[in-house]
Amino acid sequence: MNIYRHGDVLVKEIKALPQNLIKLPHGVLAEGEMTGHKHQLITKTKNAFQLYRDEKGVMFLEVFTETPLVHEEHKTISIAPSIYEIGIEREYNPFEKRMNSVKD
């Protein structure tokens, strides 16, 4: 099972895509709230991947050809062909007693 960590983004391999997904027309896994930088898949290969979102906003990724994941502040990594769920790192704030998304 492949698991990739890229800054605050987690790319975790899963066995199959859920049903009723919406195809997304881009390769942006996360946008930086603080810097405006993006975690995004960039390739010159046509149809190398397809990004999806479910009704709750969870993103899923289907990679057909090894594809680079880039961000201005992180080392580029290659995502192997497979099916993945995309997660954003969260942290617990004990003073507010709640979970917050990590902001990149």
pTM: 0.83
In the chain, how many H helices and how many E strands? 0, 12
Q: What's the rounded Cα separation, in Å, for the pair 17 and 22?
A: 11
Q: What's the DSSP call for residue 16?
A: S
Q: What's the rounded Cα separation, in Å, for the pair 46 and 18?
A: 24
pLDDT band at 19; cut points 50, 70, 90:
very high
Q: What are the sequence ranges of the domains in the chain? A: 3-101
In the chain, what are the helix, strand and coil shares in percent, each to the nearest 5? 0, 55, 45
Check whether 96 has a pLDDT greater than 90.
Answer: no
- The pLDDT of residue 97 is 64
Question: How is residue 100 written in tokens?
Answer: 């917050």
